[in-house]
Amino acid sequence: MASNSSMPSMPSMPSMHNSSATKGFVDTDNTEQPIGGRAPLVLNMHRFGEVTHQVCRVAESKPPLAWYVAFVICLGMLGFLGICVNYLIFTGVGVWGLNNPVMWAYDITNFVFWVGIGHAGTLISAILFLFRQKWRTGINRFAEAMTIFAVICAGLFPGIHVGRVWLAYWLFPLPNSMEMWPQFRSPLLWDVFAVSTYFTVSLVFWYIGMVPDLATLRDRAKGKFQQFAYGLAAIGWRGSMRHWHRYEVAYLLLASLATPLVLSVHSVVSFDFAVSQVPGWHTTIFPPYFVAGAIFSGFAMVVSLAVPARELFGLKDLITLRHLDNMNKIILLTGCMVGYAYSMEFFIAWYSGAMYEKFAFVNRAFGQYWWAYWIMVSCNVITPQLFWFKKVRTSIPLMFILSIFVNVGMWFERFVIIVTSLANDFLPTSWDQFVPTWVDIGTMVGAFGLFGVLFLLFCRYLPMIAIAEVKAVMPEADPHGHGAHAHHGGPHDSHAGHGVPSGAMPALRDPRSSEGQP
């Protein structure tokens, strides 16, 4: 054959095999879709064993110094929460800044905020799973964990805001000599059923999805205690065909069950306000408005957690810029929906001709709490519009800052809805201004400490990323693709240690291997 020396040489491509020291710590832009194909969701990894090692080493090795610093800070905040709650129980709810007519303030504001934070996890895990969105696999595990921990934080506030916590059993339908019975027509009781059902289904869904990965940690564990703990949690998982089949059926059923809960839970929470006669609350737009706001704040919290987690634990090859870009697009979409809801509230207040409604919304924007309203609008409506620009959506520092702003704005949204509507109601003679006390602020800050402690412990001891699901979207998982012939055994390439190629079983039977990634 003729020599090719006269042909121009092709530009050299960067090696896909980074050194073990830098793998997972360098960002690669995979947001552009190549012609005739799709950008990879897993970078710099060609073998299943690499994914197993990358995820498991977080739980198996000593965490970075930043983890200890964050854990100590969150533990201190949690301790302050304990002080505030005990002081509240032994003294009474008068230690809060509540007054007549502002009987709800930081307590219900924090409750609604944390319930909203928990929505993104179920949406990512359940709804995107049913729509066959492959990009969810890199972020669904810790998004589900975030849901569980956020609902735990939310459940704290209804329990302590009743005042006499030791008489909380009166809320249950227990026969008693006083002939007291719960009012089942009250949306406050609907909350109990909605949030408890949501927590139960989300917890089971999270745990079932984690079983194969717990078995992997069990088989890699070196200590007796770790083997026992992970083995107990793995409930005898062996990775057999029967196990995979039942796992996938259970996962699909739980996803189908969890999907309507995403829409129903925050709709029921919104009924706490919408069924009342208070101006500013009595509106039919609240259910879809609250659901959109919950997804909005939930995805912002996922971004806020994913950015530092992927940096500290070296998971940039698994939680890629494409995952973050997609989440920022959803934040942009839901932010526009929330902004539309804000404008429609003002329009309906004007169009209805009801003077109390018109006053309530004008007072929000220009009354005594004008500063809270404009913080809300700036963070929830103006800030997300920056995500129209791809440079912002793919800039790690910018997206992290914007996600913090979104969560600040969503907390102020709940504060504005609750406090401004109560502080200035029908009778001017009963108007008053709410001023938070140190117990109000301490309880709010302590709830973030509780959330942080739970999330940091999860990152330390449990698989942050769904190993089996990530493997199912790799080229090697396709039995008919080029990746199927590239697998060469390795010391950590068997899932749960039973000789089955790691991820191979779900690739043959898993519905998640079908097309549908954005």
Which DSSP string corresponds to 415-473? HIIIIIHHHS-S-GGG-------HHHHHHHHHHHHHHHHHHHHHHHHS-SS-HHHHHHT
Angle between helices 140-161 and 187-220 (to 10 degrees): 140
Q: What is the mean pLDDT of residues 279-296?
A: 90
The pLDDT assigned to 512 comes to 38
Q: Does position 371 have pLDDT exceeding 90, yes or no? A: yes
Write out pLDDT tens, residues 402-437. 999 999 999 999 999 999 999 888 888 888 889 999
Give the confidence band of 395 by pLDDT, cuts at 50, 70, 90. Answer: very high
Tell me the C-alpha distance between 377 and 315, whole Å.
34
- Report the predicted TM-score, pTM, of the whole model to 2 decimal places: 0.84
Write out pLDDT tens, residues 435-490. 999 999 999 999 999 999 999 999 999 999 989 888 888 877 777 655 544 444 44
The pLDDT assigned to 25 comes to 60
The burial of 42, by beta-carbon neighbours within 10 Å (0-12 exposed, 13-18 middle, 19 or more buried), is given as buried
Q: Does position 73 have pLDDT exceeding 60, yes or no? A: yes
Q: Where are the domains of the chain?
A: 48-171+182-315+440-513
Q: What is the mean pLDDT of residues 224-231?
A: 92
Of the candidates 44, 9, 11, the residue with the CA atom closest to the CA atom of residue 474: 44
Q: Which residues pair with 494 in a beta bridge?
A: 501
The pLDDT assigned to 356 comes to 87
The pLDDT assigned to 118 comes to 86
Q: What is the mean pLDDT of residues 319-330?
A: 91
CB-based burial, 142-164: b 16+ in 10 Å, e otherwise: bbbbbbbbbbbbbbbbbebbeee
